[in-house]
Amino acid sequence: MDFDLNDDQRLLKDSVDHLISDRYDFEQRKKYAQGPDGWSREMWAQYAELGLLGLPFAEEHGGFGGGAEETMIVMEAFGRGLVLEPYLATVILGGGLIRRASSGPQQADLLPQIASGELLLAFAQQERSSRFNLADVQTRAVADGAGWRITGEKGVVLHGDVAGKLLVTARSAGGRTDRAGIGLFLVDATDPGVTRRGYPTQDGLRAAEISFNNAAAVALGDPAGAIGAVEQVVHEAIAAICAEGVGAMQCMHDITVDYLKTRKQFGRPIGDFQVLQHRSVDMLVALEQARSMTMFATVMSSEPDAATRARALSAAKVQIGKSGRHIGQETVQLHGGIAMTMEYKVGHYFKRMTMLEMLFGDTDHHLKLVSDAGSLF
């Protein structure tokens, strides 16, 4: 085990950190958010140029051959910048699903298009009442010659409004929550059977409600056996958003400590009050515990044993959820009224953190999974 960055990792970190600090301050971010897509195509091109869009892919697919540690480095920086671009949707989820579920020729076709920045993807998985159960799928897939036809409703599809292709979970066999019978299908977003309604999310990112009405699709891998790959990719995505959360929490904490040292009341900096010092120490402890659990999630996201991996990722998600809520609420409280304004940065971290807690399962959901799964050790 080695916590120090190697040369390549240091280079990666330096370049991402620079990009975020030069191009992603709060005012710039506001401008990107007001653009037509709600994010910046120009930044997307920058990510492509830096190799970030192919980070986890093999070199033969135009990628960088990076592992989970490299993704962690990037996502943490994105968390600090409150990055708006569809990186999670396209690279982590979309690219992940193609890598884990599909055949060689599909990978060779699609992955280079992601890496170059041409292809945007979205993962249409959630349904109105499925909550966090990845196996709860009512959307149907029916064979149609060599291809498939998809019918059903998907909700809160991250960046589903702009994606060129949609990766859809749909059932080719079995009952509503059966693990068997679920396939993963690739649907062109411009297919006449696809209707989508995009909207902003609470944290200023984008999502869509998407209806499929007999939309033409191709299967990625086994049309009835994709659940394992879906879970694996969701685990990788959980590790990634844990890292994003750590970046956001780090910023909230830094900004809060600075504020306590500068804001004066009763004739002195409010940070002179021991109660506020101790509360900011508790925030730091929560942050460091979250960072530790993110590292654990990062190693465990490639664990081959599915049950061990699931338990570990759930444990990490619980920690991030708890730490994030604690740090978010305390950040607002310790700032006082200023933190309540849209004009001030910390509220935006707080909101992003709140959405991250909900994404791929909230704290109680994952706590239940861990507690039903037996010991973590």
Partner 1 sequence: MDLGFTAEELAFRDEVRHFFRTQIPESTRRKVLEGQHLSKDEIVESQRILNARGWAVPNWPVEWGGQPWSPVQFYFFQDEMQQAGVPGPLAFNTSMLGPVIAQFGSEKQKREILPRAANLDDWWCQGFSEPGAGSDLAGLRTKAERVGDTWVINGQKTWTTLAQHADKIFVLCRTDNTAKKQEGISFILCDMTAPGVTRRPIVTIDGGAEVNEVFFDNVVVPYENLVGQENKGWDYAKFLLGNERTGIARVGYSKAKIKRIRELAGLELDGTEPVINDPKFREKLATVEIELKALEMTQLRVVANEKNRAKGKPDPASSMLKLKGSEIQQTCTELLMQVVGPYIMPYQPEEEGRNEPLIGPDYAAVAAPMYFNYRKVSIYGGSNEIQHNIIAKAILGF
Q: Which of the ranges 48-56, 208-216, 278-286, 348-356 carries the binding residues for partner 1, by CB under 8 A?
A: 278-286
Closest separation in Å from C-beta 152 to partner 1:
32
Using rule CB under 8 A, residue 371 touches partner 1? yes
Q: Which of the ranges 93-101, 104-112, 185-193, 279-287 carries the binding residues for partner 1, by CB under 8 A?
A: 279-287
Q: Give the C-alpha separation, 134 to 230, whole Å.
A: 8
| Binding residue (CB under 8 A) for partner 1 from 22, 274, 304, 343 | 274
| Binding residue (CB under 8 A) for partner 1 from 96, 117, 245, 271 | 271
Choose between 292 and 341: whose C-beta lies nearer to partner 1: 292
| Binding residue (CB under 8 A) for partner 1 from 116, 151, 214, 277 | 277
Closest separation in Å from C-beta 367 to partner 1:
5
Q: Give the C-alpha separation, 165 to 90, whole Å.
A: 10
Subset of 246-265 contacting partner 1 (CB under 8 A): 257, 260-261
Using rule CB under 8 A, residue 375 touches partner 1? yes
Q: Which of the ranges 81-89, 194-202, 295-303, 341-349 carries the binding residues for partner 1, by CB under 8 A?
A: 295-303
Three-state DSSP state, 238 = helix
Choose between 103 and 292: whose C-beta lies nearer to partner 1: 292
**Taking each helix axis from N to C terminus, what angle separates 306-335 and 274-300, rounded to the nearest 10 degrees?**
160
Using rule CB under 8 A, residue 188 touches partner 1? no
Is residue 208 within 8 Å of 158, Cβ to Cβ? no
| Binding residue (CB under 8 A) for partner 1 from 64, 296, 349, 360 | 296
Contacts of residue 180, Cβ cutoff 8 Å, sequence gap at least 6: 173, 174, 224, 225, 227
| Binding residue (CB under 8 A) for partner 1 from 116, 289, 329, 354 | 289
Binding mask 43-82 for partner 1 (x = CB under 8 A): --------------------------x-------------
Burial label, 213 (beta-carbon count in 10 A; 0-12, 13-18, 19+): middle
* Other Cβ atoms within 10 Å of 274 Cβ, number: 8
**CA-only gyration radius of the chain, Å:** 21
Position 209, amino acid: E
Residue with tokens 């979309």: 94
Binding mask 3-22 for partner 1 (x = CB under 8 A): xxxx--x-------------
Three-state DSSP state, 340 = helix
**CA dihedral for 218, 110, 80, 293, sign (positive or negative):** positive
Q: Give the C-alpha separation, 32 to 19, whole Å.
A: 15
Please report the DSSP string for 166-191 in residue order. EEEEEESSS-TT-STTEEEEEEETTS
Using rule CB under 8 A, residue 367 touches partner 1? yes
Choose between 142 and 281: whose C-beta lies nearer to partner 1: 281
Closest separation in Å from C-beta 48 to partner 1:
24
Choose between 171 and 326: whose C-beta lies nearer to partner 1: 326
Closest separation in Å from C-beta 18 to partner 1:
19
Using rule CB under 8 A, residue 370 touches partner 1? yes
Q: Give the C-alpha separation, 53 to 64, whole Å.
A: 9
The helix or strand, by DSSP H or E, that contains position 261, with its residue range, turns out to be helix 227-262
Using rule CB under 8 A, residue 156 touches partner 1? no
Q: Which of the ranges 37-45, 130-138, 206-214, 311-319 carries the binding residues for partner 1, by CB under 8 A?
A: 311-319
Closest separation in Å from C-beta 246 to partner 1:
12
Three-state DSSP state, 302 = coil
Please report the DSSP string for 27-91 in residue order. HHHHHHHHSTTSS-HHHHHHHHHHTGGGTTS-GGGT-----HHHHHHHHHHHHHHT--SSHIIII
Summarize as ranges the residues that interact with partner 1 (CB under 8 A).
1-6, 9, 69, 257, 260-261, 271-272, 274, 277-278, 280-282, 284-285, 288-293, 295-296, 298-299, 315, 318-319, 367-368, 370-372, 375-377
